Amino acid sequence: MKKIGILGSTGSIGTQTLEIVRSHREEIQVTALAAGSNAALMERQIREYRPQAVALWSEEACRDLRDRVRDLDVKILTGMDGLLEIAAMEEMDALVTAVVGMIGVRPTLTAIEHGKDILLANKETLVTAGHLLMPLAREKQVAILPVDSEHSAIFQSLNGEKKSQVRKILLTASGGPFRGRKRGELEGMRAEDALQHPNWSMGRKITIDSATLVNKGLEVMEAKWLFDVELPQIQVVVQPQSIIHSMVEYVDGSIIAQLGLPDMKLPIQYALFYPERRPMEAPSVDFYELARITFEKPDTETFRGLALAYEAMRAGGSMPTVYNAANEKAVSLFLDHKISFLQIAEIIETCMERHSVIGNPHVDQILETEQWTYELIDGLRL
């Protein structure tokens, strides 16, 4: 029996993970769950999956939840202490990190410290703390299993091959809802327009990140840390049908890819059962119906988010944290209709310009840099 915890159990990745668990109850047990404030859904999840402990970030939601499940024997925790306690639970083998944003940094590191395998969806943690996380995972001999579809595809395409024979990683991108548009056309785009992703149904933040191509920028950094490759070895290829989830090119020019319909359950299930592959009741690609798969170069002039990610990565140290934190704040301002679509990348760029890089930052410095970035944005005249 595999015992898992899920941080972000009420979100898009979290609920899909639990759906997979539902059909494999004899093999996977849910030990712990955590979320932000959705007490109603957390109650339903507790009643169905019977975890030993759960955490809600919001204290108010936590009080509400305690009331709702008074009849059950479940430990209810709150705040960062709650997330950390869950991350360290002795009874748990693996932790699915499906919270959104840098809130995942400390719980993920704590889980690794305690020897838990990580099923990693929360890319913001790897982007900001990859230099701490990857060596710690090696030291503690825990597996970091990618849940992000592109990284799962790369991971699958590397199976049985020698890392020294990899020439490059071809990271595919759908291009998002605004692919093909120019800056002038993007000026008036509202959150409602950006939330319409053509292929994937995901949480709100990552859907906006897909529209700005910041998501692809974060994924380039994620790939660098996960697969230990140099930046010039990662090439982003736009593949609008989202059928090829990514590819690896080897020294002889051979390219190995993983294909499938755009459905996050596939990479989630692969990570849950790795190294085994389990059947899945879902439609598969019909190539006659699909007829063609097309490719494009990403437009980094219009979608500055991707170009800035390469700059942040080249600068290194605390700069990826500034890139990520500025984006997190800018996306929430955009979702609240306080800034325009194009201002997201402008804000990231302004923050990066004003930052003096801290080399090899430790956790506190990463979190201070996050705070510094938020305060800088608060002081900007937007």
Q: Where are the beta strands (DSSP E) in the chain?
A: 2-7, 28-35, 53-56, 75-78, 94-97, 117-120, 144-146, 166-173, 234-238, 244-250, 255-259
Q: Which residues contact 269 (CB under 8 A, 6 or more apart)?
A: 20, 278, 280
- Residue 95 binds to ligand NDP (criterion: CB under 6 A): no
Q: Kind of pairing, strands 28-35 and 53-56?
A: parallel
Write the interaction track for Mg ion spanning residues 96-135; mark x where CB under 5 A is met and - where it is not.
Answer: ----------------------------------------
- Residue 148 binds to Mg ion (criterion: CB under 5 A): yes
Strand partners, 236: 171
Write the interaction track for ligand NDP spanning residues 238-277; mark x where CB under 6 A is met and - where it is not.
Answer: --------------------------x-------------
Q: Which is nearer to ligand NDP, 179 or 197 (CB)?
A: 197
The distance of closest approach from Cβ of residue 13 to ligand NDP in the complex, given in angstroms and rounded to an integer, is 4
Write the interaction track for ligand NDP spanning residues 1-40; mark x where CB under 6 A is met and - where it is not.
Answer: -------xxxxxxx-------------------xxxxx--
Q: Which is nearer to ligand NDP, 81 or 139 (CB)?
A: 81
Whether the link from the prior residue into 198 is cis, omega within 30° of 0, is no
The distance of closest approach from Cβ of residue 12 to ligand NDP in the complex, given in angstroms and rounded to an integer, is 3
Q: Which is nearer to ligand NDP, 121 or 326 (CB)?
A: 121
- Residue 206 binds to ligand NDP (criterion: CB under 6 A): yes
Tally of CB atoms within 10 A around 262:
16
Total residues interacting with Mg ion, rule: CB under 5 A: 3
Give dist(CA 87, CA 123) in Å, integer: 17
- Residue 177 binds to ligand NDP (criterion: CB under 6 A): no
The residues binding Mg ion (CB under 5 A) are 148-150
